[in-house]
Homo-oligomer: A and B are copies of this chain.
Amino acid sequence: MALLLRRLKDCTSFGSTEGDLIPTTPRVTTSAGDEPVATVIDGKSIAEEIRSGIAEEVCRMKDTIGKVPGLAVILVGQRKDSQSYVRNKIKACQEVGITSLMAELPEDCEEDEVLSAVSSFNDNPSVHGILVQLPLPQHMDEERILNVVSLDKDVDGFHPLNMGNLAMRGREPLFVPCTPKGCIELLLRYGVEIMGKKAVVIGRSNIVGMPTSLLLQRHHATVSTVHAFTRNPKEITREADIVVSAIGVANIVRGDWLKPGAVVLDVGINPVEDLSSEYGYRIIGDVCFEEAVQVASAITPVPGGVGPMTIAMLLSNTLDSSKRAYGFS
C-alpha cells in the first residue's frame, strides 16, 4: 500500500487495508439527542488481553521445555508502510517473548535471494512462523515465493492449501489468516451470535475479504460478498446483521448502508491528509464512523479496532505453530 494521501471532506475518500499504522485514540461521537449510540468495540484492549495470555504461555513453554516460539520476517525493499508494519510485528513479538528473526533484502534483489531466505527459515527448527511482507516488488512472482513457505510455518495462512481447508467443511486449516481470525475473535468476545445471522463482507481480497467470508460461513452465518462489480452494495449491506468492510475505500460505508443494530467491523486502513496531525495525515476506516455509530449496535474504530487484533492473531498463530512443532500443549 503506498501512503497515497488525499484531501477529503468528512466521510468521502479512498485508501487501502492492513494492520494499524499509527495507533491513536479514535474519536467517539456521543449522541446529542436520544439516538442510540453503538458500543465501540475495543480491539486494542482485547488484543492486549490476548497478547498477555500469549506472553504467559510463552513463559510456561520456556519454563517447561526451555524453548520459545520464533517468527521470521522477510522484508524486500524500502516501502515506508511495510517497514512500519514489520517494525510493529517485531516489537509485538519481543513484548510476548517470541524470538524474531528478520531478513531485509534490497528492492532490486533477485527473486532467488528471496526464495533462499524463505528456504533457510524453512530449515531453521527454531523458526515456527515465516512472514513475507507484502506487497513484493513488481518484478517478483509473489505466488511462487509464497508457495515455498513451509506449510507448517505459514502463520499468515495465505497458502492455497490452507485456504482450501478453510473453505471445505470437515477440514481444518493449519492456520487461519490473521485479520479474519481477529474479526471473528472480536465477535465472539463481544458475544455477537454468528450462526444464522446474515453477514456481508465488503471486499474479496485473498488476505482479508475472501477468507473472512469463508470463516463467517464456517461459523454458519449466511454470507454475501460485495465487491467492485456489485451493483447495489448499499442495499445488500443494509440487510446484514454483521458487516465486515475490507475494501480500502475511506468512508465508503455510510450510516444509511447499515441496518439499525448491525455489528460493524471496519478493516479499512486509509491514510488521509490531516495537517493538524504530527505526521501530516491520519488513518480512517472504510466506514463513516460518525454516522455508523448512530445506527449500529457495535462498531470497531479505526485505529484501535481490528488492526491490533491482526498482530495478536499473528502471535497466536506463531505460538500454536511452535506448540505443534515441540508437541507442547
A residues with a Cβ closer than 8 A to B are 143, 159-171, 195-196, 198, 204-206, 210, 214, 217, 220-227, 229-231, 236
**Across the interface, do A204 and B169 meet the contact criterion of CB distance under 8 Å?**
yes
A-B contact pairs, 16 of them (CB 8 A): A143-B170, A160-B161, A160-B171, A161-B161, A162-B164, A163-B164, A163-B167, A164-B164, A169-B210, A196-B231, A198-B231, A204-B217, A222-B229, A222-B231, A223-B224, A223-B225
* A279-B136 Cα distance, complex, nearest whole Å: 61
Q: CB within 8 A of A206: which of B169, B220, B226, B231?
A: B169
Closest beta carbon of chain B to A251's beta carbon, Å: 21
Closest beta carbon of chain B to A146's beta carbon, Å: 10
Q: CB within 8 A of A227: which of B163, B206, B222?
A: B222
Q: How many copies altogether? A: 2
Nearest-CB residue, chain B, relative to A197: B231
* A160-B171 Cα distance, complex, nearest whole Å: 9
Which residues of chain B are within 8 angstroms of A205 by Cβ–Cβ distance?
Answer: 169
Which residues of chain B are within 8 angstroms of A206 by Cβ–Cβ distance?
Answer: 168-170
**Across the interface, do B170 and A160 meet the contact criterion of CB distance under 8 Å?**
no
* A167-B207 Cα distance, complex, nearest whole Å: 11
> Among A164, A169, A204, which residue has the most Cβ atoms of chain B within 10 A?
A164
**Across the interface, do A164 and B160 meet the contact criterion of CB distance under 8 Å?**
yes
Nearest-CB residue, chain B, relative to A194: B229
Which A-B residue pairs are the 4 nearest by beta carbons? A160-B164, A164-B164, A163-B164, A224-B224
Q: CB within 8 A of A168: which of B160, B225, B229?
A: B160
Which residues of chain B are within 8 angstroms of A166 by Cβ–Cβ distance?
Answer: 164
**Across the interface, do B169 and A165 meet the contact criterion of CB distance under 8 Å?**
no
Nearest-CB residue, chain B, relative to A220: B229
* A225-B199 Cα distance, complex, nearest whole Å: 10
Which residues of chain B are within 8 angstroms of A225 by Cβ–Cβ distance?
Answer: 217, 222-223
Q: CB within 8 A of A210: which of B161, B168, B227?
A: B168
* A217-B214 Cα distance, complex, nearest whole Å: 13
Closest beta carbon of chain B to A242's beta carbon, Å: 13
Nearest-CB residue, chain B, relative to A162: B164
Known: A195-B229, A224-B223. A167 touches B164 (CB 8 A): yes
Which residues of chain B are within 8 angstroms of A217 by Cβ–Cβ distance?
Answer: 204, 225, 227
* A161-B170 Cα distance, complex, nearest whole Å: 15
Nearest-CB residue, chain B, relative to A210: B167
* A205-B169 Cα distance, complex, nearest whole Å: 7
* A159-B171 Cα distance, complex, nearest whole Å: 11
11 further interface pairs, Cβ-Cβ under 8 Å (given A198-B236, A217-B225): A143-B170, A143-B171, A160-B167, A160-B171, A164-B165, A167-B167, A167-B214, A195-B229, A196-B230, A220-B227, A223-B225
Closest beta carbon of chain B to A207's beta carbon, Å: 10
* A223-B236 Cα distance, complex, nearest whole Å: 11
Which residues of chain B are within 8 angstroms of A169 by Cβ–Cβ distance?
Answer: 204-206, 210
Which residues of chain B are within 8 angstroms of A165 by Cβ–Cβ distance?
Answer: 160, 164
Closest beta carbon of chain B to A277's beta carbon, Å: 34
* A164-B168 Cα distance, complex, nearest whole Å: 9
Closest beta carbon of chain B to A219's beta carbon, Å: 9
